Amino acid sequence: MSLAALTVHQALRQARAQGVERLDTQLLLCAALQQSRTWLLAHDTDPLSPEQQARFEGWLERRVAGEPLAYILGDKEFFGLTLSVSPDVLIPRPDTETLVDWALSLIPDSHPDRPFTVLDLGTGSGAIALAIQHQRPQAQVSAVDASEAALRVAQANARQLNLPVRFHHGSWLAPVAGQRFDLIVSNPPYIAEGDPHLAALGHEPRQALTAGPDGLDDLRAIILAAPTHLNPGGWLLLEHGYDQSVAVSQLLRDSAFANVSTRFDLGGQPRCTGGCFQT
Ligand code: GLN
């Protein structure tokens, strides 16, 4: 790439000419210059230093090659929190805020006698658990992941945000054997192996994305195991693929859940289904 000194304006134009979206080019340049987007607007003709330009062009090359912006910058906003992310974790999606909204509607600000207990399965970056803990400081939030590398990312986020989520390593409910919760939430892998959408998700951890030939293997495992880990009247809320709400609703009904319903994401797709555990 050229190393002739670029101005802010030229750097943005160069990135756009390579097909990078406007917002992404601005965010990459802000990070390279350690300035805000407002600053960029007012400093159109400022030249980049050689170090800033080299950093920007390196990142641009990665973005043009298809690497998600969140991995290049190392963070992602979710439910008003800035979370560190690495290729060891799925990048939190705005659609998953639907699940958090639903969870929050079920968690009282305070709970008589004892804390309200929440468990997040397959926490990844910790996004769901940390968003819930941030919004409901009185709740006792636990989170599980099968990947130690993912748990390191989640724990670093919890430390950075000063949120007291308890983390456990292991497969789904195995690490919390013998414990019951008032609410279990999960955004598990739910894409079918061989789904053409996977081509666009090649930078994200495959183990966080796929779950068997129909994408339902992990949802089935969680739904089957959840009743022995819920207090009577406790809720299980699950994110799933746009075409899985009927199957997930049926699995929940077959596994002692009542009041089964589905919520829609920002794009209008059925994205989360949940039910209440009846003894
Ligand atoms: N919602 C993600 C996607 O389709 C997948 C997340 C998941 O498998 N849990 O891009």
SS3 state at 15: helix
User: Can you give the pLDDT at residue 222?
Assistant: 98
Alpha helices of 34-126 — where are they, by DSSP H?
37-42, 50-64, 69-73, 97-106
**CA-nearest residue, atom 10 of ligand 1:** 201
3-state secondary structure 157-214: HHHHHCCCCEEEECCCCHHHCCCCEEEEEECCCCECCCCHHHHHHCCCCHHHCECCCC
**CA-nearest residue, atom 9 of ligand 1:** 189
What kind of fold does domain 76-277 have according to CATH? Rossmann fold (3.40.50)
* pLDDT tens digits, 168-208: 999 999 999 999 999 999 999 999 999 999 999 999 999 99
Average pLDDT estimate for 14-34: 94
Residues 6+ apart with CB under 8 A from 207: 146, 147, 189
* pLDDT tens digits, 209-261: 999 999 999 999 999 999 999 999 999 999 999 999 999 999 999 998 999 99
**Cα dihedral angle (226, 195, 128, 164), rounded to 10 degrees?**
80
- Residue 210 CA: nearest ligand 1 atom is 8
**CA-nearest residue, atom 5 of ligand 1:** 209
Q: How many Å lie between the centroid of ligand 1 and the Cα of residue 229?
A: 25
Query: Is the pTM here over 0.75, yes or no?
Result: yes
- Rounded distance, CA 148 to CA 107, Å? 28
**Residue among 247, 243, 146, 226 nearest 184 (CA):** 226
Average pLDDT estimate for 32-45: 94
Average pLDDT estimate for 111-116: 91
Q: How far is CA 78 from CA 130, 132, 150, 239, in A?
A: 10, 11, 17, 16
- Rounded distance, CA 229 to CA 192, Å? 27
Query: Is the per-residue pLDDT at 1 higher than 60?
Result: no
Q: Residues with beta carbon inside 6 Å of ligand 1?
A: 90, 93, 187-191, 201, 209
- Residue 188 CA: nearest ligand 1 atom is 9
Instruction: Report the amino acid identity of residue 228.
Output: T
Q: How many Å lie between the centroid of ligand 1 and the Cα of residue 189?
A: 7
Which of 89, 209, 243 has most ligand 1 atoms within 8 Å of CB, for mutation? 209
User: Can you give the pLDDT at residue 13?
Assistant: 94
Q: How far is CA 224 from CA 241, 242, 252, in A?
A: 19, 21, 8
List the domain boundaries for the chain.
8-66, 76-277
Q: How many Å lie between the centroid of ligand 1 and the Cα of residue 239?
A: 9
Q: How many Å lie between the centroid of ligand 1 and the Cα of residue 48?
A: 37
Looking at residue 90, the DSSP 8-state letter turns out to be: P
Residues 6+ apart with CB under 8 A from 263: 98, 99, 101, 102, 270, 271, 272, 273, 274
- Residue 200 CA: nearest ligand 1 atom is 10
Task: Return the bridge partners of 263, or none.
Answer: 272
143 in Cβ contact with 168 (< 8 Å): yes
Which of 91, 125, 190, 242 has most ligand 1 atoms within 8 Å of CB, for mutation? 190
Query: Is the per-residue pLDDT at 158 higher than 70?
Result: yes
Query: Is the per-residue pLDDT at 115 higher than 60?
Result: yes
- Residue 122 CA: nearest ligand 1 atom is 9
User: Can you give the pLDDT at residue 2?
Assistant: 52
